[in-house]
Structure 1
Amino acid sequence: MTFRHRIDLYEYGETQNEWGDVEHAYSRKFKDVPAEWISGPGREFLADEATRSETTGRFKIRWVPGVHEKMQVHWDGKVFEIKAPPQPDSTGRRELLLMVGSVK
């Protein structure tokens, strides 16, 4: 299996801005994680009187501790949310499968 793509994983949490105020936002937790993109079905639908599209698919990554379904994946200028708990391979320590859907 070739992991030819690089993704960043972001986690939602508290961060401090330059004035020291606490903000709730996504911050990068893992950078340049090797991944393979496996596309799934996309769809177009009508919402708010405009045509919208949604991309779904999967990312297969090497096992990384701390990856969970409340994270976001940033890849190639697109933002995806993880839709389900990461699925480990049969060993539980080699690879993770992330089911994702586009955010915007």
Structure 2
Amino acid sequence: MLSHRLRHRIHIQLPVKTQDPQSGEELTGWQTYLLASTPLNNLPAEVLTGAGREFIAADAKQSETTARINLRWFPIDISLFYQCRILWNGRVYDIHSIETDLTGRQEWRLRCKDGVNQGA
């Protein structure tokens, strides 16, 4: 992985479920993902955004942008990582797929979408 390509900074967040004490409703909050007590915020990454698209959903015009985010490899629980969201440049991205390089130990390649998402 070429370090000069990692010019963006991303923030990885994990959903946290809590219960409203008055109504009993389950609420979802977000907290910084901790990897061995190290917060995964301000991570160097390469963010490549594609062309956006517009569509009609729920009788309203919606828009979405796809992105590929490359970052250095680190050990993670992939099943837990799919629940996370990425914050970058004021946008919230949901992770749709996770891939590694050929060796499986150099970089993570995340395919993400923003716009109409569950991570907002």
TM-score (norm 1): 0.81
Q: 2:91 aligns with which of 78, 84, 100?
A: 78
Structure 2 residues without counterparts, runs of 5 or longer:
20-25, 34-39
2:84 matches 1:97: no
Equivalent position of 2:53 in the other structure: 43
The 2-side partners of 1:15 and 1:8 are apart by 22
2:92 matches 1:88: no
Cα RMSD for the two superposed structures: 2.1
**Structure 1 residues 43 and 13: alpha-carbon distance in aligned structure 2, compared to 1, 3 A threshold:** same
Equivalent position of 1:25 in the other structure: 29
Asked whether the equivalents of residues 35 and 60 of structure 1 are also in contact (C-alpha less than 8 Å), the reply is: yes
Number of aligned pairs? 98
The 2-side partners of 1:15 and 1:3 are apart by 35
Instruction: Write the letter of the residue equivalent to 1:62.
Output: R
Task: Give the deviation of 1:34 after TM superposition.
Answer: 0.6
Asked whether the equivalents of residues 6 and 71 of structure 2 are also in contact (C-alpha less than 8 Å), the reply is: yes
What per-residue deviation string (whole Å, max 9, x for no partner) do you get for residues 26-83 of structure 1? 2111111111111224210122332211001110001122252111000011000001
Equivalent position of 1:19 in the other structure: none
Instruction: Write the letter of the residue equivalent to 1:46.
Output: I
The 1-side partners of 2:114 and 2:60 are apart by 17
Equivalent position of 1:53 in the other structure: 63
**Structure 1 residues 53 and 63: alpha-carbon distance in aligned structure 2, compared to 1, 3 A threshold:** same
Equivalent position of 1:11 in the other structure: 14
TM-score (norm 2): 0.71
